[in-house]
Structure 1
């Protein structure tokens, strides 16, 4: 596909028959928008959409919502019309509905710091049409409950009332799982999902005094404003502060046609790296979930499976799982979707060759068709930074000068971080096993809440899963331990970017925020108790 000169002032198209931008336009389109345009021009399968520029974010800050709506409305409506034409569907049409995703995209990668809304455009009439069109009642209700939960959290601001509380929607989900004696979201029946939708709507009505919005255009504009607002949210401001990014850059907004990893067991979603982000080894790796959406992987809601067969075997060895059990219960994408794996393997090599750097990619498989949702230069540890640069120099991909310029001084400091004495490790008691999400060694006293990470001189932040709101506490703690999530979860990606020791997905941990306790194998640890993390092995000591 040929890239064409942009005619829009504030909105740029990508995918389908028209791609307005390219990789050099990240200051205007944000990194995500620029790379989506670049991939579209390369012929890589990207769901079509539009990017609202970073300049609009600045206008939003300076002029306010009402004025920007007047400036932007015609271009957005025209772009949605173009998207409808490309997809052969109509936004808000119950008979042939087009659903959208809305994502942020600053010029630099800020993982999890700003907001995302998926499955946008659903209401009860559109839901009926989606069920009729797809003949898939479970998928349709699952998408609706996901949309209500995400929109309510991001746009309506319905979050836990206190730090000891669970997310109000997750609390309902967990209660229903206990009642039904199930452990995974994928085990919910259609009736369960219907019950969740009605319960979620009841939460919205009680907490806001208003019905959940049913107008698709109201939903779209609400999501766009929420992304712009998130640029100046506490977590994004703090992330910019610790990385010394200017506040006047602004974020772009990417609106895309939805593709669905939660449509069936022949659908999936995942995150992958062209090289190992922790060690720098030249091996393709990543994680995926069957019958899921992308937020399930990065948010750590479910602990995902490995993409490659070799990676799956390494994981099973760490988790002390037999090969027979691994093949039956925890298969790799390479094994359960070999054609999709081969296609993904080809695209990851094409993108690394094109960008001449390690890539962090997100993908979705919808009913046997692969879509690439994002690519960006991947966050990496200091050790990985050195190895990737030196390997790429030796492989003739980059020059000596480029290799030298890729050495970030603050990352080189990580090479001096402490490690455990090998003799002391032999005498230590391993209380739990997780994934070695970010290397290093950390010893500290347990805290359960990010805002209390400075309660003791040396702390280990222990969470069921981390969220972007935990950023400041993650930065202050010596190490991070989570019960859920994998190597591509928010905790893992942010910890590697910070050079912080992290063990993720230690599934044996039972964490009670209200009691401030951690229980494993009937042994209870309380706030202030000492534990250690080995980020090289995933051991909790």
Structure 2
């Protein structure tokens, strides 16, 4: 059997997987000779074994704990459960990753009705002894037996009120003895058994409780939130007690080596005199600023300051340190890398480089890419948010940021309200491309259906607009223009506030804090661009979106969705004319007008990005998206186009598809109507020729044919486009360098990527469609069950947010390998939403893609993620050398 228990002096910082973060750091501090109370750590492997074996501690583990307890007794010169030199211990959890407050701790373990008298005699302090005993009974009852802690608190409050004292420390020994008896009575009433008097029984029950706390609800939620593996378990740290509640020359506290909110290089923290650690965490008493300790116990403050600086220099990161002072002697109970705000994180990282403590690479590795969202988007004021009335917090955080506005339920009403100067929040069951006019003018977008890659989510992220999707608690009635939610009703014109970072909606307006330019973040991003191997492009097609991306230093455009260019009223009219045309000539006439609009569109795009690369995806959606499903609109279209209403109804019925996602769209539509793609290619080339003549800008477009599943689809359409474009260039007597590639979004295309690469000059993975076609999940409907799948462990991650390595990832890697066998230098990128997800970016970097593309406001996140991935990859290469 492998070793499952380690004394602190047997471990070191590198053993986090086995000893957990707390245990590894206690071992490291012991190794450094710092004042750490001795103890031992039961490994994470023992926890997993316990949970897998029906929550039973093996006989071997019990014996190993016993042996290490004897070693601890020898180190302290005391005995656990002794009637003379009494040893008390603490039992604390500690997983590999810091999870503050998520699992459980028990202090003063080893006390019982007899040993409390021994402690009183040893310390000559009966108040202290019985204070320790009542704390143990309370914590043990709550942690081990699940007794509601409020039962103990209520009794404590009763006694303080009865004896007219404000603080626990003001109670007398006799009063504390009465409290102890009442606390023990709670056990009998709740569990029909007495508080255990055998110290070794207490220890084993405490260890089991900490193991079990790995799977408590709050720990599970925390791990989901921070993407922590559910199967790594927690270690258990057993440590000799030191007492911050042993008088007015004792105390306990928490100190940070730098300010966790601002990043300033100064001690920041709090402490309490005559208290134990849980008092600080629980907020039972108001703590003092750490700087007050310099007056109360100056020698301890100076020693603490020295040790804090030593630990920061050793770990090369801001430290969060728990300490106890026992009769003027300072002890360190824990150190860990401190949690901090995004603003603080980037300042600390940049400052530490300036102080020559760390390198640029190490600074970037200190920044969690997702954490910088609050530095890019406006956020609600925390105080105002706490006072706001919640409508729902069950939506998906589809696009970060915060916004307030009046509610409208359709694009036309939203546009009219915005034109009159109102701030608008567009709420719909789900959005479609036809809603784009209303979406563009909205401060926020909310849908009751759809997922993280639904139309609303994708478009909102591209525009940098706050969005909450799939908020199923909302019953949206677009006809009567109202939303019903569990607490009431929202009507058109009512003011709501939307938090797209957490998926929540609130009644009324909430004050905002606008993100300001952060020079430290700019430095981090500059270093990230220098160190990343992957290029980072943007998904964008409007001038505003493109400019935002350029401001964030996008290396180009990875996806221009041309369908969004067709939904302005005058363009939609001509597109409908094309759809309703009976002959090729009629279709061509409609496309001639659309061509002029498209030339204007592409000129604007290319003029904005200059000579940076840009991928233009030719028309992708099915034709039914360009016609209304509402019969009331048929008459207006009939009047606009001078056609019978019956013809429109017939065409709408003809275009209806059972499953449009798998229907007549993308390259399939172009096979039927090749003139569509030829028109778009002509617009691209003519806009480039015009720009070259007018401004001297040289553009080399990358023309993408979407939804290819067979080689013949690509070769057929490419041949038609190339023949037409070459003829056009000959007529214009001009040269334009262009490439034609495809989007890999069908699983079959991944398996024949070697054949596709014979014709395709570049590839780009459309991970949204590739994911839904691989899983068979509709990305718009998966929100109905995906949360349950995550909660029950059916899925480890939402595959629309983080790449599924076993399925979708394998397909991507297969396609990359096969394509490069045919064309070794082929450019390959990602333009789906996973191009902005840090964990997905790491995978794309490791398999050798050339670029990722994401919405403009995710560019900073993507650059940091790409740099972190490359730094880690290079470190592994260097180690292997």
Normalising by structure 2, we get a TM-score of 0.44
Q: How does 1:263-412 map to 2 (within 5 A)?
A: 263-308=246-291, 332-412=292-372
Q: Does 1:33 align with 2:16?
A: no
Mapped contact 1:441–1:535 kept (Cα < 8 A):
no
Q: Does 1:10 align with 2:1?
A: no
Q: Does 1:131 align with 2:144?
A: no
Correspondence for 2:137:
148
Listed one character per residue, the Cα deviations across residues 134-157 of structure 1 (whole Å, up to 9, x for unaligned) are 111010000000000000000011
Q: Does 1:193 align with 2:170?
A: no
Alignment partners' CA distance in 1, 2:36 and 2:192:
39
1:159 positional shift = 1.0
Alignment partners' CA distance in 2, 1:174 and 1:454:
36
Gap change, CA 1:270 and 1:27, over 3 Å in 2: same
Gap change, CA 1:53 and 1:419, over 3 Å in 2: closer
Q: Does 1:207 align with 2:190?
A: yes
Gaps of 5+ in 2: 403-505, 515-881
Gap change, CA 1:120 and 1:8, over 3 Å in 2: farther
Alignment partners' CA distance in 1, 2:509 and 2:237:
42
Q: Does 1:104 align with 2:93?
A: yes
Mapped contact 2:263–2:344 kept (Cα < 8 A):
yes
Alignment partners' CA distance in 2, 1:333 and 1:452:
44
Alignment partners' CA distance in 2, 1:197 and 1:453:
42
Listed one character per residue, the Cα deviations across residues 218-256 of structure 1 (whole Å, up to 9, x for unaligned) are 100000000000001111111100111111111000000
Alignment partners' CA distance in 1, 2:50 and 2:354:
47
Gap change, CA 1:359 and 1:444, over 3 Å in 2: closer
Q: Does 1:218 align with 2:201?
A: yes
Alignment partners' CA distance in 2, 1:253 and 1:149:
20
Alignment partners' CA distance in 1, 2:311 and 2:513:
29
Alignment partners' CA distance in 1, 2:347 and 2:217:
34
Alignment partners' CA distance in 1, 2:327 and 2:357:
36
Gap change, CA 1:199 and 1:530, over 3 Å in 2: farther
Which of 250, 257, 264 does residue 233 from structure 2 map onto? Answer: 250
Mapped contact 1:94–1:127 kept (Cα < 8 A):
no
Mapped contact 1:362–1:373 kept (Cα < 8 A):
yes
Mapped contact 1:8–1:75 kept (Cα < 8 A):
no
Correspondence for 2:865:
none
Q: Does 1:57 align with 2:57?
A: no
Correspondence for 2:223:
240
Gap change, CA 1:58 and 1:122, over 3 Å in 2: same
Correspondence for 1:21:
11
Q: Does 1:159 align with 2:159?
A: no
RMSD: 2.5
**What is the DSSP-based 3-state SS (H/G/I as helix, E as strand, rest coil) of the residue aligned with 1:363?**
strand
1:404 positional shift = 2.1
Correspondence for 2:532:
none
Correspondence for 1:430:
none
Alignment partners' CA distance in 2, 1:149 and 1:444:
31
Alignment partners' CA distance in 1, 2:383 and 2:5:
46
**What is the DSSP-based 3-state SS (H/G/I as helix, E as strand, rest coil) of the residue aligned with 2:146?**
coil
Mapped contact 1:288–1:297 kept (Cα < 8 A):
yes
Gap change, CA 1:152 and 1:407, over 3 Å in 2: same
Which of 414, 426, 439 does residue 374 from structure 2 map onto? Answer: 414
1:69 positional shift = 2.9
Mapped contact 2:89–2:241 kept (Cα < 8 A):
yes
Count of matched residue positions in the alignment of Structure 1 and Structure 2: 406
Listed one character per residue, the Cα deviations across residues 439-498 of structure 1 (whole Å, up to 9, x for unaligned) are 8564354679xx99769x99xxxxxxxxxxxxxxxxxxxxxxxxxxxxxxxxxxxxxxxx
Mapped contact 2:89–2:109 kept (Cα < 8 A):
yes
Normalising by structure 1, we get a TM-score of 0.71
Q: How does 1:169-184 map to 2 (within 5 A)?
A: 169-184=152-167
